[in-house]
Structures are given as C-alpha cells and as structure tokens.
Structure 1
Amino acid sequence: MTLTSFDATEPESGTKPRVAVLFGGRSSEHSVSCVTAAGVLAAIDKDKYDVVPVGIARNGQWVLVNADPQEWTLTAGQLPEVPDSAEQVMLAARDSAAELLMRTGPESTRSMGRIDVVLPLLHGPFGEDGTLQGMLEMADVRYVGAGVLASAVGMDKHFMKLAFAAAGLEVGPYEVITDRQWQRDPEAALQRAAALGFPVFVKPARAGSSMGITRVTEAAQLRSAVEIARGHDPKVVVEAGIPGREIEVAVLQGRGIEDPRTSLPGEIAVQPGEHAFYDFEAKYVDGAAAALSCPAELPDDATARVRELAARAFDAVGAEGLSRADFFYTPDGGLVINEINTMPGFTPISMYPQMWAKSGLPYTELIDELIHLALSRPTGLR
C-alpha cells in the first residue's frame, strides 16, 4: 500500500510533533501494554517525531520512564512493569496543545514542554475504555484512536453486541450476568448460561488479552468460571461457542471523509497442545502456540464480505484511528462477529500490524499514519 502525504495540523512551524507514548496503566493488561510500547518505541520514526515515553504505574501515577525498548520487552517469561517513581508527571491544558509538567514538590511543578499528540497504548479498563480519552479531551490534546463513546462501547462486550445488532451484523447467542443478578440469584444466572448449550466461553465484560476467560464444557464448571471472570470485572458475558474459523480484519480510519480502510483478513490457528483456545499464554508467552495466516484462505466473496463487515463494525461503534474486528466463519459460509478491539495488540508480531504489513503497510509507516490521522482531526465534538 502506497501512502501519499497530506496536510495535518502542525504544532509549531519548523518543529517536529511531540508525541507522548503512554503505556502501562491500572488494568490487568498492564504488562501487555508495556510490551506494545516496546514495539512502538523501537519502530517510531524519531526523525519525524520528538518522542516522550510516559508510563502509568499500577497505582495510577504518571511517571517519566526509560525510552529504551528493551526495558519493556517480554524476556524469559518475565512481564515488564512501570515502576512507581518520584519523577511524577501530569498533563495540563495549553492553548492549542497540552503541556507536560513534572512534580518537583508538594505544590510545585516545572514544565517539560508541550505535547502535541498522545499515543495511548493502554489496554483494558482505565485506558482503553473511554476514561483516559475523556481526560485527554478535557486537556484539549489530540490522541491516537477511538474517542470516549467508541472506546467505552468497544470495551464492554455487552453494549458492543447491542451496537453490532443495531447495525445489522450477526451476533452469536450470549447472556449477561450483572453484579446485582449474581448476588441476588446466582442459580438463575447459571441456568441462563447453561441454556446456551456447551461449550460456552465465560468472559469479563470489560477486559481483553484473554484475561479471565474460561472455556466451559459442562454445567459443573460454570460457577467457578463466573467467579474467575468476576475477579476481573463484576459484569460477566457468557457466549455460546460458535463452530467455525476465527477470522480477523484490521481496520484503519479513512482520511477526511473517506470510508474506513481494511486489511486482508487473517486467521490465527492455535497449534494442538496445551491451549484450548487463543488464551493469554498463547498470545504473549508461548511463541509456538499459534500461527498467523494472512491472507486467510477464504473464497473471494467471503474475503470481500468480511472486509465490508469489518468496516461496518468500525462505524457501528463510531471508532476512529484503528480497530481490529474478529469474526467466526461458519461451515455454511456465514460470518458472525465476535468483537471489535479499539486498541488491539500493537507489537510487531501482533495480529493488527502483521495484517497491515501483509496488506502493504509496514509497521513504522502504520505508526506514522495513525499519528497523522490524530493530528489532522480536531479536538472536541466532531
């Protein structure tokens, strides 16, 4: 894919856009976010951008961190972590951009310079769910990716499915178990879940990276699976197992008023062995657990259809920047949407960048395109 240049809002004449690469966070996907940041910090074009790495510790504090990508990689199975640091920073609103401030005392700060755009590489609640996006909107700073509503809908598997159904996309059978329902009458909730048939997948409603997900094959396993999911989120979604192949499509916002762009579809095949599905270990720890096929071996009409449906899913939640749409391709040729991820895994070996690389847009150019898209759109309502 060849990309031509286009006009974006430049921060100041003759200066490079200053990009805050933001990662870590308070969710259970903290370390996944760090690994994503390692890939981006290694690949981002530093001749074009002044890069400022900012980590969010698990306690929510923002800190200046080491820009060395090796600091944040997954090595020997060890998960990286943003440390709590004395070098705490914050964003403050400034005329046409934002200012990064460092706390130097209980009531004093010093400026670390402007920030023109934030690249928020956070996964899960308190980062991917609209909370961070709302803060950035309040600070009047541009950022990569979906806005407040799209981020919130894309994080919640319940409301995501409602949005998909309203847009005419086929959604598989599911049940929602709220915290109140579980505390009031867990047996009734378990009966509703069991009525879907087996296998089912029990998931936290607002988590990603396969955190807290259990594949359940009999009723006796349901209660434990719900409790595991509730360890991540008091709201749980139980999905009926859909027979078929798992097909994914990377979506990239169009320029200006253009339609969303879609990659060639990809397919993850989990290798026979210890992993019953594409779980956290298979995604991030066991490098031999799964293989990507892109383009996926599909009939031409199915390829065209899944790309069209992925773009429709992107619009259904009001996404911006990037998303990955996941489908089941059923034996009868149907396409059932599973979910959309508004901040998909973004390491060089993650599905989203790999599918774009196979479609002609290499990793570094993809990062560049996302930053330009963010700089070209206005802050506030749009």
Structure 2
Amino acid sequence: MTDPPSHHRKPRVAIVFGGRSSEHAISCVTAGSVLDAIDRTTYDVIPIGIATDGRWVLESGDPERLRITGPDQLPSVDGERAPIALLRETDSTDLVVHEPSQPPQTLGEVDVVFPLLHGPWGEDGTIQGMFEMAGVRYVGAGVLASAVGMDKAYAKIVLKAAGLPVMPSVTVSAREWYRDPDGVRHRVADLGFPLFVKPARAGSSMGISKVHGPSELDAAIEEAHRHDPKALVEQAAVGAREVECGVLEALDGTPETSVPAEIRIGGEHEFYDFAAKYLPEEHTELDVPADLPDEVATELREMAARAFEAIGGEGLARVDFFVMPDHSVVVNEINTMPGFTPTSMYPRMWAATGVDYPALVDRLIRLALRRGTGLR
C-alpha cells in the first residue's frame, strides 16, 4: 500500500476516463466536468484517457473537448497521444509517459485515481482489481461491489437476499438462447407483458428494449446480446414512477443519502433511453427533489443505504427505484459510478441536499486518500 502523500506537496490525482465499453463517450463527458471542477490549488491533476482499443494515453485535460455537441458528435479519447503507464515501485506507484524517440518521463507518484469509467472494463471491478494490484488508492467501490453493481442479474440476487424488493426477472445467456430459444420464450412468458430486455452489464440505457408482446421478444434479446452475452428480461413496473437516490459515504464510513429525485419522460420516449438521458433537445423532466409523501421519501432513503451496504459499497452510488401506484417501493438497480456531470442526477440530488459539485468531487477524493488498498 502506498503511503499518504507528503505534506510538502499536493496530492496527485489521476483522472482516468474513456475506456473500451459502449459508454466511452459518456465517461469522457463525466471527466470533462470533473476536470473543470477539481480544485487545482489543492490537487495536482493528471488526465489519463483510455482509448477504445485499450491504449492508455496522457490526455490534454481540456474540458471543452469532452462535451457532447450533438447526436453524432460524441467526445472520445485521442489514442494517438503519448502512451502512459502506472509503474509499481518498491514504495510507490508512479506515472510514466513514453514519448516516441524519447526516454520515458516520470510524472511522479500517483496518490489516488479517480476512475470515471462506465460499463465493462471500468465500472465492473476489473480496473479496481488492477489498482489493488498496483497498490494505489482509488475513488469508489472495490472489486466485489463494483462487479455486483455492474451485473444487474447478480445485483438482484444480493439485494433480494438482503430483504429488498426487486422486480421479477429471467436471465438469458447467449448460449441458452442459441440452444433452446423455445425454452427461453416459455420461461419469459411467465413474466407477462409488457417487459424490458436489457444487457445485464451495460449502462446508459444501451441495448434496452421495451417488449409489448411475444412478437417483439426475439429482436429485443438479440439486441441486448449485441452488447452483452448475458441479458436480463424483467417484468415492467406498470404505472410506476422512476425515482433515484444518491448515497455518499461519510468520513466515518456511514452511508449518507440525498433527497430523492424523479425522472419524468416526455416526448415519444417510453422509457429513460440514451437520447432522453443525454441529448439536450429531448423532453425529459428531472424533479429535484421528488414530490413524494414524507414517509415514502424516508423509506426510499433508508432502502438506498441498505442497498449500498448490501453490496459492500464504498464512496458513492446511485440507487434507482420504482415507486408503484400504491406507493410501495421497489429497487430497480444500483450504480457504483453514476453519471457525474453537474447536470446528472447524482450531483443534482446532492446539490439539493447541500453538497455542491466541487465539494462532492473533493469529498470523494478525500475519502479515497483515507482508505487503504487490499482487504478492509
């Protein structure tokens, strides 16, 4: 484990973003917001981009380059920039840049990594395991919590075991769908229609379809399998309100919760898809805080903290709920690295709770600096 940073210099924070998943662009947008907000008088910041082919590079860190400017103008990491690597030394982990025809340049010890990665190879425990092996502190959930939170099928198992209500579902592997499609259709029919089909380990509503009847099922499963060989077929929460709650770890480890917020979908969207989430011209209303009866809001916040602890969460998480027409509350999913732009739900909920965006960024970094690597 690396020692805490010396009081003679600022802590060095590596902002890691991009990645190989389908959420590469959203990770870049998130990183741009954090780079814009982080206090450079307190922290020495190194922007590290992971290109779509997996190359790690020293990025420019220009927040303006990391914005969505239109449906076909999504930001991405420039994989042609100078390669960068984490180098584990005896008592530290250093950042090393490899410029063509130049000797390696050491940027110095990295004290904490802020992995602003969404989806597989970033939010699913894989990169967290690499940081553990490198002995470097990092923001957010550890290996197991990240993996469980990313896999919607396993998250349901864990949440249900903790006594939290979840929607009924069926998991369909690509192998099972290839071998016995009729058997899958029979199992799914027991859920009734409408239902949702989604990749088990993707985010940003990638690959999700609403299925109104049996004739739409095959195409929906194949679309989900295009993103992930494991698909989740889930009973639709008919008439439910979509409400979210942020969890933020206190310095003593206690999970604190934000005021809940509601998503109201407008226009032609039947659910909270990619366009409704990220494109500014779409008709989506975010009510922060949500207009809920006090007892429902209290129950929802308590369940958010329970979900966070059930998966072994650390740092932050966003817990998504369905509030049914009878005001009962069902956990939809938990996200261990939620969207993190100032206009994303997680920061907006905390701003409404009294923690603004720069303070949120600072709190998460300080939590990571206090936490060691390895078993804890």
Report the counterpart of residue 265 of structure 2 in structure 1: 270
Give the drift of 1:96: 4.8
SS in 1 for 2:104: strand
Report the counterpart of residue 244 of structure 2 in structure 1: 248
Give the counterpart letter for 1:90 in structure 2: A
Report the counterpart of residue 381 of structure 1 in structure 2: 375
Residues 9-61 of structure 1, C-alpha deviation per residue, up to 9 Å, x if partnerless?
A: 74012211111110000000000100111111111111111111000000100
SS in 2 for 1:85: coil
Report the counterpart of residue 149 of structure 1 in structure 2: 144
Residues 264-318 of structure 1, C-alpha deviation per residue, up to 9 Å, x if partnerless?
A: 00001111x2211110001111444211112211111111110000000000110
Give the counterpart letter for 1:328 in structure 2: F
Q: Distance in 2 between matches of 1:275 and 1:96?
A: 53
Report the counterpart of residue 301 of structure 1 in structure 2: 295
Q: Distance in 2 between matches of 1:66 and 1:287?
A: 29
> Residue 370 in 1 paired to residue 338 in 2?
no
Normalised to the residue count of structure 2, the TM-score between the two structures is: 0.96
Normalised to the residue count of structure 1, the TM-score between the two structures is: 0.95
Report the counterpart of residue 137 of structure 1 in structure 2: 132
> Residue 126 in 1 paired to residue 94 in 2?
no
Tell me, yes or no, if the aligned pair for 1:90 and 1:101 is still in contact at 8 Å.
yes
Tell me, yes or no, if the aligned pair for 1:96 and 1:140 is still in contact at 8 Å.
no
Give the drift of 1:198: 1.1
> Residue 93 in 1 paired to residue 80 in 2?
no
Report the counterpart of residue 3 of structure 1 in structure 2: none
Number of matched pairs: 372
| RMSD over equivalenced CA pairs, Å | 1.5
Tell me, yes or no, if the aligned pair for 1:36 and 1:347 is still in contact at 8 Å.
yes
Report the counterpart of residue 84 of structure 1 in structure 2: 79
Report the counterpart of residue 191 of structure 2 in structure 1: 196
Give the counterpart letter for 1:208 in structure 2: G
Report the counterpart of residue 291 of structure 1 in structure 2: 285
Q: Distance in 1 between matches of 2:181 and 2:103?
A: 51
Instruction: Choose which of 23, 26, 31 in structure 1 pairs with 2:20.
Output: 26
Report the counterpart of residue 175 of structure 1 in structure 2: 170
Instruction: Choose which of 28, 48, 52 in structure 1 pairs with 2:46.
Output: 52
Residues 128-176 of structure 1, C-alpha deviation per residue, up to 9 Å, x if partnerless?
A: 0000000000000000000000000000011000000010000111000
- Percent identity between matched residues is 54
Instruction: Choose which of 270, 274, 277 in structure 2 pairs with 1:280.
Output: 274
Tell me, yes or no, if the aligned pair for 2:20 and 2:51 is still in contact at 8 Å.
yes
Report the counterpart of residue 113 of structure 1 in structure 2: 108
Gaps in structure 1 of 5+ consecutive residues: 1-8
Q: Distance in 1 between matches of 2:357 and 2:371?
A: 22
SS in 1 for 2:97: strand
Q: Distance in 1 between matches of 2:181 and 2:223?
A: 14
Report the counterpart of residue 352 of structure 2 in structure 1: 358
Q: Distance in 2 between matches of 1:238 and 1:177?
A: 7
